[in-house]
Chain A
Amino acid sequence: MSVDATTVRRIAHLARIAVSDAEVPHLQGELNAMLAFVEQLSEVNIEGVEPMTSVTPMEMKKRTDAVNDGEIAEIIVRNAPDTVNDFFLVPKVVE
């Protein structure tokens, strides 16, 4: 399988990465090189094989449903590029 220019633009939008028209042919070539490389997996017989979901056999641990942290809004927003009163500020999303 290989990707065309339209697909490259579609994936870039899904990944929320702006891509200029000039970059598309180059990215298309790189992605197709990677897809050609992984193509060899189609030779493997995977009939009846379970997909791996956990590399070490262990039961998922569950935490107690209890509040054990919090009231640290000031620390949480400290690294944000734009804030107001302990809120993250973003461009307007609702008209």
Chain B
Amino acid sequence: MTDLTSLTIAEAREGLASKSFTARELTDAHLAAIEAARVLNAYVLETPDRAREMAKAADEKIAKGEGGPLAGIPLGIKDLFATRDIRTTACSKILGNFIPPYESTVTSQLWRDGAVLLGKLNNDEFAMGSSNETSCFGPVTNPWRREGSNTTLVPGGSSGGSASAVAALLCMGATATDTGGSIRQPAAFTATVGIKPTYGRCSRWGIVAFASSLDQAGPIARTTRDAAILMRSMAGHDPKDTTSVDIAVPDYEAAIGKSVKGMKIGIPKEYRLDGMPAEIEKLWSEGAQWLKAAGAELVEVSLPHTKYALPAYYIVAPAEASSNLARYDGVRYGLREPGKSIIEMYENTRADGFGDEVRRRVLIGTYVLSAGYYDAYYLRAQKVRTLIKKDFEDCFAKGVHAILTPATPSAAFGIGEKGGADPVEMYLNDIFTVTVNMAGLPGIAVPAGKDAQGLPLGLQLIGRPFDEETLFSLGEVIEQAAGRFTAPKWW
């Protein structure tokens, strides 16, 4: 029998149904893999007892023929999702030992469908980062290394633990969240598939808030089919989130393998950056040719406000974060640092509890919202955001079904390599992904090739609102053409 951890969710589902192995065996194989891979620091909390209990329950249901769509599938959960009676920290010291008395809607739907919780996954503190280096639990290691090198690389961020765990076979799939690229960039850095659904597709209830008008949950998995399977369980209307949309959730898996013949694929000229590495350029045109070979039609499109998306994001996201993070005051939960007055207690608690990146963003957000600066910064950025969204609307109005772009401007980089002197250097990682959040659209990152040093690279497909199905169909075409990439095991 092959190692159970290397199966896809679709394969495991079949194996469980045909009784080739039990959910308990599948979970135990993953728990052993997690234990042997602690050097990657992907998990910040392992929950083996809970996992075995849930696996046992799944086996009983499967035996009775009552197993749900994810019965017995072991998953990792980003530590941004509140899990009932299980420590949830957003990887921030300020949440301390917070034990939620409630479960996030997205995870509750995974458990409803029979999935098994293996543990909580590392991420950048409050999801603020592109390398998973801002976590209070320390950085995550990417299972991928440059050929012939031992240099430790980042898995991307903020969902770095999710991407690393999926790539290193430490779970069959993982939940993640994406505010500016936090699902798609780490997926591209680890040769995994990550989809950020349309804003409103997944409930945000019970997910630690970063920037509420941009945050969306989505899955990271090893194949587009697996991502589609997870998405179906995660998506859906929730009365507890007023921005969650009340429309039916399609069977995303049915979109896998569907013909893309006649689809119009936009190639945006503004994504062709000056000084873009030749291998990224090559990957992009290769991806376009694969879609063309499958019957799609390529059209050049223009998204003129692309270059303003990242600066507008660095006003909107910190502004919303400064407001959302006001709740961490040392009164109702988490860390408290004493002070002589209540104000001093707040100030000491927040100084000690927030890491450097979070502090920086809260300060800039406070500044752009402060009296006298609101119009010049926040209001202007929200107007630019309207223009960014309009660029996409104009493009889709011309009959374009989806837009193809590179997922990231480079492959994974080393720990400590970026953003040391100037924070903007790190922010540039999200240049291709952030437009999608600003416009509320769905975007998928699919592994498409390797760079000269043997590191994975991904392509991104951007879709029309609530048309994730097209992204799954097109993503599958790329996956079939490019093949799958597995990190050689060294840990």
Contacts and interface: CB of A to CB of B under 8 A. Distances in A.
Contact of A11 (B329, B367, B387): B367
Contacts of A63: 239
A85 interface: no
A37 B333 CA distance: 35
Interface in A30-51: 30-31, 33-35, 37-42, 44, 46, 49-51
Given A11-B366, A90-B331, A17 B383 contact: no
B386 A27 contact: no
A14 B366 contact: yes
B196 interface: no
A88 B341 CA distance: 15
Given A31-B363, A40-B311, A52-B386, A80 B440 contact: no
Contacts of A3: 367
Interface stretch (B135-143, B146-154, B374-382): B374-382
Contacts of A75: 101
Contacts of B385: 51-52
B13 interface: no
B342 A61 contact: no
Interface string B97-139: 0110100000000000000000000000000000000000000
B248 interface: no
Contacts of B382: 51-53
Given A11-B363, A17-B351, A30 B423 contact: yes
Nearest to B386: A52
B147 to A, nearest CB: 34
Contacts of B384: 41, 44, 46
B480 interface: no
B222 interface: no
B350 A37 contact: no
B314 A38 contact: yes
B464 to A, nearest CB: 12
- Rank and list the top 10 A-B pairs by shortest CB-CB distance, nearest first: A55-B440, A51-B382, A79-B333, A81-B336, A18-B351, A18-B347, A46-B383, A15-B366, A38-B311, A16-B346
7 contacts: A31-B360, A38-B312, A46-B384, A52-B386, A55-B389, A61-B246, A88-B332
Interface of A: 1, 3, 7-8, 11-19, 27, 30-31, 33-35, 37-42, 44, 46, 49-56, 58, 60-61, 63, 72, 75-82, 88, 90-93
Given A16-B329, A38-B381, 9 more contacts: A11-B366, A34-B423, A34-B424, A41-B381, A49-B387, A81-B333, A81-B335, A91-B341, A91-B342
